Amino acid sequence: MYLSLPLPSTVSRTMTVTVFSGDGSSLPMPFTVTVPKNGCCRDLIQALGTASCLKQSETLLLAEIYGHRIFRYFDKLSEPLSNIKDEDHIVAYTVPIHHGQLQKLEILHTREEGYDIRLCVFLSIEAEFINWLLNKELGYFANVMSKVLGYFLLISVTSLKGKSLRFLADSTCFFVRFLSEPQYNAHVKVFGTPLVTFFSLNSKTGLDIHSAVCSLLAPLLRANMMPSSTGVKTGKENECGPSLDAIVLSDNGIHCSKENLLNSQMELEDTSNCFPALQLALEDGKVIVPTTVDVVQNTCSGSSLKIMMGWSDKLHGIYDFHFLENLPEVFKSGFMLKKTRQEAVTLYSCLEAFLKEEPLGPDDMWYCPKCKEHRQATKKLDLWKLPDILVVHLKRFSYSRFMKNKLDTFVNFPVHNLDLTKYVQQKIGIPQSFIYELYAVSNHYGGLGGGHYSAYAKLIEEDSWYHFDDSHVSSVKEEEIKTSAAYVLFYQRVRCDSSTSGKKIN
């Protein structure tokens, strides 16, 4: 019998996902987990839940981040993990287990990247104006102006130094005649990682939104901004900004009591000198302030609200934003790595990987005769009975779309007493032993481009091991035959009966 066993690394996959708290209870934390290579999102969520000690009342919402925005959510738990590439950036948000009945709040982070100034002018004086531009180190702008003097002109200039262009617009009244007031439009850039939380459908006010955002940002407070453990008052008493006491986190999202809502509203209005008011707005530009009465209209279960949060320099001094930057990739592999080295595994773990139920990939869908559709299926192999001579092949060669590797993983295989009893399905009939002893090993050195074979073999009569390397033969100790080059293992059954217990077959 020829048994070809995969190494566990060939049937599993290592993935790194950053877990974000949906209620502001902890900092973002990356977790690296091992999942079945042909598994689905359910397997990834279960592995992350175990690694992050997820509560029973919580679940994880997987999302892909692209361009500092949420590109897509992995809503279907049966979606295969093969759809997630190694270079993707995946996050998981902890959310209430019944989040489908709540309102989703998605927060994008923005910052200003200069200004777009639009001027409608009539240029009349040439030399003095051009020289003034050159003195202000705006030579390119001066070159453009010199070609359009004497004409009505609509100017639209973008600069990373908005103050310089503001000064230009305010200082050229002696040289140009404005036909309209200058218009300044700030260029807004999205950065960082979006935050996601859920709250009740009844929470529609601006104060509800501000309270939810404040609670999500709480773990990001810098150490020098946190209240000391003794003699510290909160809220208006120490003039340190809005209190989070009004925020109540429950399975139904974020709620605020009436009394605490009023207190929080007063704090948000009166303490902006220490904690500046958050700059929140809808996608259409509508500004959200704590006094806004009805931010969300026509809400329903599972609906989503996306807001933009502006980050000023003062806000960066209060919150440590680097926790929301530089998401790790799902898997970072060295491109020039030729060989994959992993932790040692046992022969039993290879056998269990071979016998484990495995979900088939999207290219191996099973056609269901009842529903007349292709469905994702699973396959399962079992050992029905075993032969007297068992040949075990270790799959050491890994093939992917871009790379082909030799796996130099050390497999710890037993020389004596390889017990396969629990793996055999048929045990009815004449009692047989399912214990084997090793009598030969075939080794492979090198890679896919070229290699060399050698062998270890045991002379049964002498009960001693020898190393066969081409024409060279030498004796070796039994403990020396276990190496990471082992490629094919040869076992023979140990006879088990009352008269010859412990003896091998002839």
pLDDT value of residue 291: 84
Q: Is residue 338 part of a domain?
A: no
Instruction: With beta carbons less than 8 A apart as the criterion, state whether 396 and 487 touch.
Output: yes
Q: Which of 44, 63, 98 is the C-terminal boundary of a domain?
A: 98
Instruction: With beta carbons less than 8 A apart as the criterion, state whether 261 and 291 touch.
Output: no
pLDDT less than 50: residues of the chain: 123-126, 142, 148-156, 158-179, 229-262, 264-274, 335-341, 498-502, 505-506
Is there a single domain that holds both residue 225 and residue 128?
A: yes
Q: How many helices (H) and strands (E) does the chain have?
A: 9, 32
Q: Is residue 357 part of a domain?
A: no
Q: What is the 3-state secondary structure (H, E, C) of 108-138?
A: EEEEEEEEEEEEEEEECCCHHHHHHHHHCCC
- Edge to edge, the sheet with strand 397-399 lists 339-340, 404-407, 397-399
Is there a single domain that holds both residue 140 and residue 69?
A: no
Domain with 477 in it: what CATH number? 3.90.70.10
pLDDT in tens, 12-66: 788 999 999 998 999 999 999 988 887 889 999 999 999 999 999 999 999 999 9
The total number of structural domains that make up the chain:
3
CA 481 to chain centroid: 42
Instruction: With beta carbons less than 8 A apart as the criterion, state whether 194 and 283 touch.
Output: no
Is there a single domain that holds both residue 123 and residue 208?
A: yes
Q: What is the 3-state secondary structure (H, E, C) of 398-461?
A: EECCCCEEEECCCEECCCCCEECHHHECCCCCCCCCCEEEEEEEEEEEECCCCEEEEEEEEECC
pLDDT value of residue 205: 84
Is there a single domain that holds both residue 115 and residue 35?
A: no
Domain with 85 in it: what CATH number? 3.10.20.90
DSSP 481: S
3-state helix, strand, coil in the chain (%, to 5): 20, 40, 40
Is there a single domain that holds both residue 88 and residue 130?
A: no
Is there a single domain that holds both residue 146 and residue 67?
A: no
pLDDT value of residue 161: 42
Distance CA 18, CA 48 (A): 9
Is there a single domain that holds both residue 449 and residue 401?
A: yes
Q: Is residue 362 part of a domain?
A: no
DSSP 222: -
Q: Which of 280, 307, 326 is the C-terminal boundary of a domain?
A: 326
Is there a single domain that holds both residue 113 and residue 39?
A: no
Is there a single domain that holds both residue 322 and residue 427?
A: no
As given in the structure block, the two tokens for residue 139 are 């030579």
Instruction: With beta carbons less than 8 A apart as the criterion, state whether 391 and 486 touch.
Output: no
Overall pTM > 0.85 = no
Distance CA 172, CA 132 (A): 9
pLDDT value of residue 430: 62
CA 458 to chain centroid: 50
Sheet strands (E) in 97-205: 103-123, 152-159, 176-178, 183-199
Q: Is residue 199 part of a domain?
A: yes
Q: Is residue 337 part of a domain?
A: no
Is there a single domain that holds both residue 171 and residue 319?
A: yes
Is there a single domain that holds both residue 183 and residue 256?
A: yes
Q: Is residue 65 part of a domain?
A: yes
Q: Which of 81, 98, 115 is the C-terminal boundary of a domain?
A: 98
Is there a single domain that holds both residue 217 and residue 89?
A: no
* C-alpha pair distances (Å), 59 with each of 42, 54, 217, 251, 474: 11, 7, 21, 11, 60
Q: Is residue 7 part of a domain?
A: no
- Boundaries of domain holding 74: 13-98
pLDDT value of residue 377: 81
pLDDT value of residue 251: 41
Distance CA 234, CA 220 (A): 18
* C-alpha pair distances (Å), 292 with each of 203, 206, 207: 12, 5, 7
Q: Is residue 353 part of a domain?
A: no
